Amino acid sequence: MSPTSATSQARELLGVSSLTNKALRTWLYGLPGVDQVGLEGRAAALATRSIKTDSKAWAIDTAIGMIDLTTLEGADTPGKVRSLCAKAELPDPTDLSTPQVAAVCVYGDLVGVAKDALRGSDINVAAVATAFPSGRATLPVKLADTRDAVEAGADEVDMVIDRGAFLAGDYRLVFDQIAAVKQACARPDDAPDAHLKVILETGELATYDNVRRASWLAMLAGADFIKTSTGKIQPAATMPVTLLMLEAVRDWRELTGAMVGVKPAGGIRTSKDALRYLVMVSEIAGDDWLTPQWFRFGASSLLTDLLLQRQKLRTGAYSGADYVTID
């Protein structure tokens, strides 16, 4: 989707002839307000749902297949990325039936290393871009960052919105930047475009109403996924925030017929937590979202606990953490 077509679609949905900041503000503030008590109560109630033993094996395998295995440190090396890719392809060397993860996520300059290591597999390579994690850069720099990752072979791009602009009420600037980055994800000819995951950094948005508005703004501008967090800011992913985002993609589908994915990232560490999220996906958005195409976990440490729980179901005994590889 080009910036022009994103703007045209947004004008049509908003029912305006010109997509101004005022028009976006009026529309976003016209969204229903969030009942904080009701939202947090529903999230807490869904967290009490249990998954029976015969369904737990399916749920654990489903969660493994939804993980974006990630390393985003200044000290990342090609060797570390290759090691992470090996784990992505073979999460549990003692059990070859273990599913592979959905993607490996790295900084843009290491995309080539990951692509080479994962050659022949179905695992995607995702790159963070647009001056991750702060988003503090000019648009030309953000677009260059994105194009570098795409040219290196990234299948997915995780961008961060300009939270300062959003909190200042400059919604048109945020919209324009997302739409421009979406265009930068395009590839020539018939090659598939890189999918765009838009990180809202919900821990900095202050209110649930802002999370709802940011979710809708990102979808208006062409996001393929909306993502909670960079993992660098606390709080990161929470169940109430993810519930809000699941409601947004569900309602977007009802409005437009198009599906958008959701990715909670940061702070999801246990199998119990992951299964609670899967229950919430099913209850709020629907089972169509229970695939890696539409739901991801940005939580690398989660994989270790999922593998240990999987081993327990298979053998009846709980192994120690040294029975799986540690990132």
Give me the active site residues, please. Answer: 158, 227, 263
Distance set, CA 6 to CA 40, 66, 127, 305 (Å): 33, 28, 23, 41
Q: How many CA atoms lie within 13 A of 38 on its CB side?
A: 4
Q: Which amino acid is at 145?
A: D
Q: How far apart are CA 237 and CA 173, in angstroms?
A: 25
3-state secondary structure 61-80: HHHHCCEEEECCCCCCCHHH
Query: Which of 156, 146, 148, 149 minimizes the C-alpha distance to 102?
Result: 156
Quote the CA–CA distance of 137 and 130 in Å, as a whole number: 7
Element (H, E) at 113: helix 111-117
Q: How far is CA 76 from CA 70, 84, 317, in A?
A: 11, 11, 35
Query: How far is the CA of 126 from the CAs of 88, 159, 180, 216, 218, in angstroms?
Result: 13, 10, 18, 23, 19
Strand-strand pairing, 225-227 and 103-107: unpaired
Q: What gap in Å lies between CA 325 and CA 327, rounded to an integer?
A: 7
